[in-house]
Amino acid sequence: MSIDHGMSIDEVERLAASLREVATRLRTMRQSLQSNVSRAPWSGPTATRFKSEWWPRHRALMDRIRTDLEGFATCASNNAADQRATSESSFAALGTGSAQAVAMESRLLANRHRVEGERERLRTKLSGKQGARLLLDHPGEYESELRRFELYERVLRENRQILFFDPQGDGEIAVAAGDVRTAKHLAVTVPGISNKLDNYWTLLDDADRLRTSAGEDTAVVAWLGYDTPIDAGGAVLQDLNPFDGSNSGIRQITTDAYAKNAAPLLAGFVNQLHGTNPDASISVFGHSYGSVVTSMAAQQGLKADNVVFLGSPGMGGATSVADFKLNQGARVYAAVPRGVEYAGLSVGGDYVDNLASNLRGMHSLGVSPYDPAFGAVRLDIGSSALAFTHDKYYAAGSQSLSQMTAVMLGNGPDAGARGGW
């Protein structure tokens, strides 16, 4: 979140309080109406239509408005907290990080409240006759909402740190495995195409495996802070649609447009994370299209000690590691499974790397980090005869997870490992 240094902190905080008050009144009004509708001795065709169609539809609208008001209140509170932290120079002079800690506590609490609100909205939407009707008429929407509900239940049950949350559209969220305030080593994972709130649990599982491998004094944040491109299969199907001549599907996954929008968001997030826990090392792991995002963020300025590219299709404008603005002494790594020799041919590896190499020059994702001339340190994660290893980098017990853990803990290979792809 950007910080407006010209704003009145007190006024923004009053606005946040006002928004929450309105949201609370709306919740009370909705509960009162629900009670009256349920108890009203009203019958007949009009009553049936009101109770079965009009009221459920408008009740859902009231829930959505309340949730949005709570979300705007959260954003206003976070912005005010960030500005107050920046303004309190006495804390900065002490070097204690107290102001940043206060801002972080405020943000975590506000985000938790908003997730709780969304969970309750979905609980109502998916329950009883309303849920049964949704399942019957719109099974895809029901499944999507159910996955979100289960995610919110998990995050709240496990008392996770929620660093930001926006349920609009495909949704954006960042949840930590571990405590980002006290960890000695921090990591941020950046996903690629086809990721959204509906399948965020897979990213959270990846973060959990990395943190389990790295140890208790670490924290890993699964960052889903941007609108990711459509998946490859969906892109092809979209382009085969006879009613859509835009070819926009393939264009989504072969252009850096999404990465350009996401890069400043990632940079801002990582840099604020550094401000919250300045003594911790920070490693950023960009996977697939997420490596393009990570590269473009590193070109803008990223307070990271390690950057790792996994199954990357390109570097989005960077021609070498010299184009990156990282912490002093930072290292840049690149990892991809090699293919194996079979009957004189190389088979397997990572199909995204193979496809990107074959189509280089036909897309705008840039040069490969696996080119020795790029200057990245090679992470040797072995070879694979299987082409579909693209989503296996965080697999438990894998060589790639072991190497990523070593990098996160400051034990990655040195510059002598460059080249040899």
Say what the pTM is: 0.72
- Angle CA 402–349–417, to nearest 5: 50
Q: Which residue has the tokens 């959260």?
A: 74
Looking at residue 250, its pLDDT comes to 46
Nearest to 176 by CA among 236, 139, 224: 224
Interatomic CA distance for residues 5 and 306, integer angstroms = 30
Can you tell me the distance from the alpha carbon of 258 to that of 316, in angstroms, rounded to the nearest whole number?
A: 11
CA distances from 28 to 19, 67, 147 (A): 14, 13, 27
Tokens 């070498």 appear where?
Answer: 320
Contact 336, 381 (CB under 8 A): yes
Residue bearing tokens 């907290």: 81
Q: What's the pLDDT score for residue 118?
A: 92
167-170 long-range contacts, CB within 8 A, separation 24+: 167/67, 167/71, 167/118, 167/197, 169/227, 170/196, 170/197, 170/198, 170/227, 170/228
> Per-residue pLDDT tens for 291-339?
999 999 999 999 999 999 998 888 988 999 999 999 999 999 998 765 4
For residues 13 and 2, give the distance between their C-alpha atoms in angstroms, rounded to a whole number: 16
Structural domain boundaries in the chain: 1-159, 161-421
Residue whose structure tokens are 């590896």: 349
Site of tokens 């959505």:
64
Dihedral angle computed from the Cα positions of residues 99, 105, 107 and 111, in that order, rounded to the nearest 10 degrees: 180
Residues 245, 316: Cα–Cα separation, whole Å? 27
The domain 161-421 having CATH identifier 3.40.390.10: the answer here is no
Which of 279, 401, 379 lies closest to 331, judged by CA? 379
Residues ≥6 apart with Cβ < 8 Å to 5: 83, 86
pLDDT of residue 232: 46
The CA-atom distances, in angstroms, between 176 and each of 77, 181, 221, 224, 280 are 21, 11, 4, 11, 15
* Closest by Cα among 276, 290, 325, 289 to 304: 325
Handedness of CA 9, 12, 17, 18 (dihedral sign): positive
Tally Cβ neighbours within 10 Å of residue 131: 17
Say what the pLDDT of residue 194 is. Answer: 87
Q: Name the stretches of the chain with pLDDT < 70.
A: 1-7, 81-101, 230-254, 337-364, 382-389, 415-421
Note the pLDDT of residue 82.
Answer: 62
Helix (H, G, I), strand (E, B) or coil at 418: strand
Q: How far apart are CA 206 and CA 396, in angstroms?
A: 9
Q: Quote helix, strand, coil % in the chain, to nearest 5.
A: 55, 15, 30
Output the CA torsion sign for 68, 71, 75, 80. Answer: positive
Per-residue pLDDT of 175-228, as tens digits, reads 999 999 999 999 999 999 889 999 999 999 999 999 999 999 999 999 999 988
SS3 state at 306: strand
- Spatial neighbors of 154 by CB under 8 A, at least 6 apart, are 201, 204
Q: What is the DSSP string of 129-171?
A: HHHHHHHHH-HHHHHHHHHHHHHHHHHHHTT--EEEEE-STT-
- Angle of CA points 323, 328, 331, to nearest 5°: 65
**321 contacts 308 by C-beta, under 8 angstroms:** no
Structural contact between residues 352 and 393, judged by C-beta atoms closer than 8 angstroms: no
Helix 200-214 and helix 399-408: axis angle, to 10°? 70
